[in-house]
Amino acid sequence: CSFLPPLCEKHLDSEILAGLAIAIIMDGSQTFLIEIQALCLSGSTGSRQVHGIQLKRADMIISVLIKQAGLPLQEHAVFFNFVSGLALAETAGDLAIAAAICSCCLEIPILNDIAFIGEIDLGGELRMVPRMEKRVYTVTKLGFRMCIVPKVAEKALGTEGFEKMEVVGCRNLKDIINTVFPNLMRRSQ
């Protein structure tokens, strides 16, 4: 397995980390953890700059975040990038892309010991990707505290071999927001 280290490993409670998320992707039989960076700027509607993923896929993820999660991204310019310039050819990075965009839009950082695996469909539901067990095993081996996966994957994986890490299954984007940003309601009050 390969791990491309996050750019910011210090100051986990700082605003600096807002907009960063870790994705687990595969190229052949090799597993890679990559950092996704997102930037959302209000007042610059419709502008999109994406690197490492097809623009159509990025537009779909952003549209689903607007429709299914209620994020006001139509009022934002959205930019995202994969650290180290990798290009994503599979849908396993969808959750991490969505989480990074949510983090930046909500201005709430994601701790760097949480990883994301899964695909997003047009209804905002989360779907399994191939070789889920190998991906989660890699995350466990690297010492991550939590891995967010589709609910179906959580049931299929069980807990065998993942005792040191919490595998959290989510049904949809709203579940992810409630899981990753649990203090959102307290913060807005």
Q: Which tens digit of pLDDT belongs to each residue from 79-109?
A: 888 877 777 788 999 999 999 999 999 889 9
Q: Which tens digit of pLDDT belongs to each residue from 130-145?
A: 999 999 999 999 989 9
pTM attached to this predicted model:
0.86
Q: Could you tell me where the DSSP H helices lie in 41-85?
A: 55-69
Query: What is the 8-class DSSP label of residue 14?
Result: S
Contacts of 141 by beta carbon, 8 Å cutoff, 6+ apart: 1
The angle at the Cα of 151, spanning 180 to 112, to the nearest 5 degrees, equals 30
Among 130, 182, 138, which residue's Cα sits nearest to residue 156? Answer: 130
Q: Which tens digit of pLDDT belongs to each residue from 9-61?
A: 444 454 457 999 999 999 888 898 889 999 988 876 667 778 788 888 999 99
Q: Where are the domains of the chain?
A: 20-181
Instruction: Quickly count helices (H) and strands (E) in the chain.
Output: 6, 10
Q: Tokens representing 70?
A: 């209620």
Domain covering 20-181, topology: Ribosomal Protein S5; domain 2 (3.30.230)
Q: What is the structure's pLDDT at 46?
A: 66
Q: What is the structure's pLDDT at 154?
A: 82
